Amino acid sequence: MAVHSLLRAVADDTTISIMGEHIERRRRFGAEVDATGVDFRLSAPRCRNVNLILESEAGRLVPMERSGRGEFSAFVPGLRAGALYRFLLDDDRVPYPDPVSRFQPEGPHGPSQVVDPTRYEWHDGAHGGVHLEGQVLYELHIGTFTPEGTFLAAARELAALAELGITTIEVMPVADFPGRFGWGYDGVCLYAPSRLYGTPDDFRRFVDDAHRVGLGVVLDVVYNHFGPDGCYLTRFSDSFFAKEKNEWGHALNFDREGAQEVRAFFTENAAYWIDEFHLDGLRLDATQEMHDTSETHVVTEIVRAARAAAGRRSIVVFAENEPQHSHFAQAPEQGGKGVDGLWNDDFHHTAFVAATGHREAYYSDTQGTPQELVSAVRWGFLFQGQRYAWQGKSRGEPALDLPAKSFVTYLENHDQVANSAFGRRLHQLTSPGRARALMVLLLLAPATPLLFQGQEFDASTPFLFFADHGEELAALVVAGRAEMLGQFPSVRDEGIRRRLVNPASPDAFERSKLDPRERATKKETTSLVRSLLALRRTDPVFRAQRADRLHGAVLGDEAFLLRYLGESGDDRLVLVNLGRDLDVRHAAEPLLAAPRGRQWTRLFSSESPEFGGAGTPPLDAYEHLRLHGHSALVLTASPSGG
């Protein structure tokens, strides 16, 4: 065994020679299985001695050999997948899990389990990956998407989402975290799918089933901080954290001494998810908190690693970036970070204000006017360097050159639904007609649209913030949540505060679960979404996603139009009226005029009774064009007399 360990310790790549044979390692570190046993590698530069504890073999200790680079290795003949293990570090008698464990069956504080990622038999050989064009995203949280809250239960709903017109699922973080429930953004075992949702092979089956019905799967990953409970990285290395703070505590060290080790941890993690789970991309959480002054930003390296792991498959990488640094979506050779798309909060904020009239806190810099909505559809971010009064500084960077598909737009997502007192959905905060009209705007706009779980059937269940921590941390979470909500003056009302749900309460988690009976019985909004996505998919003008061939105009205090230029006069007109009935037959607006030799005919109406609307008057000619209040109308330019 000493010879095996020595050869492993000096290997510079992932092919390890043992007595003339070769073990192909998928990862540099962690537990790797082959026909003869399990090979363990650990990066622990702050340690002098490490012992491997085989907990599934009555706690047998196996000394690990150290190389000069702070890497430890041991080979255990005959050991198989499923074995449980931890590490003893120097004189510390507390055993620690593997920092790159593929599974934690008892959670982050328990032993790691040896996993053979090659055991699962994939059936997605014909799946070629995902391209940005034409995508319709659907964000879901595994724990609340079904009553069971598991990968396998969620997989049963995938065919229905594909039939609806969804193209790619975006899964909220699954990296393991302590407790019985949580959003996943406090993950500490970044290589281990949470045991709360099933096994690693269950997650593989979820992805495989998605590919079988024609859906892609993107995973939300958190590379800006670790959760406050269960992160043992400082016991293995002194390099992971910087002295500077970010929003969640100490920032990660991407550009100081020892940063290469940290950067490799995250770039290899990105490659791991793409490689071993056949994922179609990643969503990078809060990239503004990934501070890096290196010549090549760590986000660029993460994107490159993910694409390399995909091989010939096409993948997509999205980024959340609150300050709206648009250069993240530019190519590295143009000074960008190379991501495919950016979440667009500006679209959400102006749509929310238009729907509800409320302009508190971070909504205060948008007014929900028709012009804002037109600009958000045409140009993406509303703030591209102007002063943002709420933050007292400028917001955004120029983004006029980014294609529309690079902006991910939404009316709901996990943050925006939960960033309220009671986690209410948009349709519960506005009129049914306004909600339908804004859905038309979202799903026919040239950007990449995202729906949040349950939005497709107007779920009545809330989506609350929930996190199960120990008593001390739970108190801090409650205080932090109260502080966050305190930015909204309406939530400072004592009566409201008394009704807030404790994030640490199981009730917050259970109430956030979708009701499967609603999915089966609430048909009107589902029909609306299905019809709009079919139009988006089949109509050549909407399918093109050409914001550069789109013009808009304000028609009234709460009404506007979008003119989509097709080929040879084959235009589309989307009219949105969020106010009272409006007669536009005498409007001095050239975009209302039909192209030469054509006339407007109705293509779609949000007021169709099929969608729960009150019906739309016949459209005989342009002279009779009247917009119902709280509605959207889609017209097509048909040959005159046709």
Catalytic machinery residues? 285, 320
Q: Which ranges of 357-401 would DSSP assign to H, the alpha helix?
A: 370-379
∠ at Cα 22 (17, 24), nearest 5°?
Answer: 115
User: For residue 534, what are the contacts with CB-CB under 8 A and spacing of at least 6?
Assistant: 165
Among 153, 13, 150, 5, smallest CA distance to 66 is for 5
Among 78, 90, 87, smallest CA distance to 52 is for 87
Does the CA dihedral 380-575-448-613 come out positive or negative?
A: positive
426-to-263, 382, 429 alpha-carbon distances in Å = 39, 21, 5
Report which DSSP code applies to 256.
S
How many other CB atoms are there within 10 angstroms of residue 334's CB atom? Answer: 9
CB 77 within 8 A of CB 1: yes
Rounded Cα distance, 492 and 508, in Å: 20
Residue type present at position 593: A
Rounded Cα distance, 189 and 142, in Å: 17
Rounded Cα distance, 270 and 259, in Å: 17
∠ at Cα 482 (481, 484), nearest 5°?
Answer: 65
How many other CB atoms are there within 10 angstroms of residue 585's CB atom? Answer: 11
Q: Which ranges of 213-283 would DSSP assign to H, the alpha helix?
A: 233-236, 259-277
User: For residue 385, what are the contacts with CB-CB under 8 A and spacing of at least 6?
Assistant: 394, 395, 396, 397, 398
